[in-house]
Amino acid sequence: MFYFRTMPRTLQAPVTVAFDYTRSTGPVIGRFLTGLRDGVIVAGRTSDGEVVVPPLEYDPVTHAATTDFIEVAPVGTVTSWTWVPEPVKDQPFDRPFAFALVTLDGATKPFFHAVDVASPDEISTGMRVQVRWAAERTGAITDIEAFEPVAERDEVVDGAGGPDRARPQPRDEAATEQSRSGESEGAVTRVVTPVSLDYLYAASPEESAFYRGLNEGRILGQRCPTCQKVYVPPRSACPADGTPTAEEVEVSQTGTITTFCIVNVPFLGQKIVPPYVSAYVLLDGADIAVLHLILGIPADEVRMGMRVKAVWKPREEWTYSLENIDHFEPTGDPDADYDTYRHHL
């Protein structure tokens, strides 16, 4: 009798690719962001009289650089909205909220931001909303924490010409004055935008066997039945002749450096202080080299042909990853003869 296997045939793992994107704002967006930091909303006027938030860098009709900036109110009217029932990472809130187009008083074009209400019943087109400033402002769009409904009594006071309670006052009046005169000190000229992509990597059946091998302290490849080459990690088919590979081969944990690079440049998330060496290691019994870290020797003494061996992390740290091998280090044996690896450069 056959049973369905409960063990999944292939492995999968969540992967995140992330980097911080730093860019200069330019004078127009910089002015807008500086305004947010100082608690005011800066719009730009176009040649056909539209008042746009954020200001456009160039006029859409004449293509001239925008030079006419005006301050608009932190109060406006919802012109369109959508409900976000299940926010994803890095959205304005981790609870349900609305995204809306809000036309601020003094502007003619709507501005996109979040509205903090508890349910879709609490937002409607035509509703009056006001900016809720973030507790700490840095010169970013997140300086506006969200819009929130304007309390009716505030609108009445506003309409009666009383104190403008619907318009939260900037925290720093001096900074605001500077902004209005266009001479804001320490203007925002650069922003750092984290960029991040989460995805699920699904390993092929052959790769899954490779990663399961690593979890047992073994390095597994597959041999092509046509050209006899051994691929590590295994491909589903030979890249040279297209033949499907099936025969599993355990390769040696010792190999030869075929080529390498000395990393001198520091970067975000780097685990080792430069200089250090990344090298292609052709494991004995394999026909393709794997890229790994070389330690246990000064970077300037690493050379092609050097014999190295895998150094594994403590067993309790093993997962299903090539990182189970912490690094490679020299075996101390004489260098390999050039002819043994010349086809793998």
**Cα–Cα distance, 167 to 318 (Å, whole number):** 57
Q: Least distance from C-beta 237 to Zn ion, angstroms? A: 8
Q: Helix 26-38 to helix 173-180 angle, to the nearest 10 degrees?
A: 150
Q: Return the residue of 72, 114, 175, 238 that touches Zn ion, per CB under 5 A.
A: 238
Distance CA 160, CA 143 (A): 29
Span of 78-86, 144-152, 172-180, 217-225 interacting with Zn ion by CB under 5 A: 217-225
Assigned token pair, 253:
């944990």
Q: Which is nearer to Zn ion, 47 or 228 (CB)?
A: 228
If one asks whether residue 118 binds Zn ion (CB under 5 A), the answer comes out as: no
Residues in the interface with Zn ion (CB under 5 A) total 6
For residue 37, count CB atoms less than 10 angstroms from its CB and return exposed for 0-12, middle for 13-18, buried for 19 or more.
buried
Q: Cβ closer to Zn ion: 64 or 240?
A: 240
Q: DSSP for 75-93, please give it.
A: EEEEEEEEEESSPPTTSS-
d(CA 142, CA 150): 20
Which residues in the 15-74 window bind Zn ion by CB under 5 A?
none
d(CA 35, CA 184): 9
Contact residue for Zn ion among 241, 247, 250, 284 (CB under 5 A): 241
Residue number, 15 or 240, with CB nearest to Zn ion: 240
Q: Out of 61, 202, 227, 261, name the contact with Zn ion by CB under 5 A.
A: 227
Task: Return the range that interacts with Zn ion (CB under 5 A); candidates 189-197, 220-228, 272-280, 330-338.
Answer: 220-228
Nearer to Zn ion (CB atom), residue 127 or residue 286: 286
Candidate segments 76-84, 241-249, 255-263, 320-328, binder of Zn ion by CB under 5 A: 241-249
Nearest-5° Cα angle at 170, 164 to 171: 130
CA distance 123 to 196: 31
Smallest separation (angstroms) from Zn ion to the CB of 223: 9
Which residue number, 146 or 232, has a Cβ lying nearer to Zn ion? 232
- Cα gap 324→28, rounded to integer Å: 50
Separation CA 182–CA 167 (nearest Å): 21
Residue 209: other Cβ atoms inside 10 A: 20
Nearer to Zn ion, 241 or 317 (CB): 241
CB of 287 to Zn ion, least distance (A): 9
Cα angle, residue 109 at apex, residues 41 and 151 outer, rounded to 5° = 60
Instruction: Name which of 177 and 247 has its Cβ closer to Zn ion.
Output: 247
Q: Which of 72, 219, 224, 308 binds Zn ion (CB under 5 A)?
A: 224
Q: Minimum Å distance from CB 258 to Zn ion?
A: 19
Residue ranges that bind Zn ion, judged by CB under 5 A? 224, 226-227, 238, 240-241
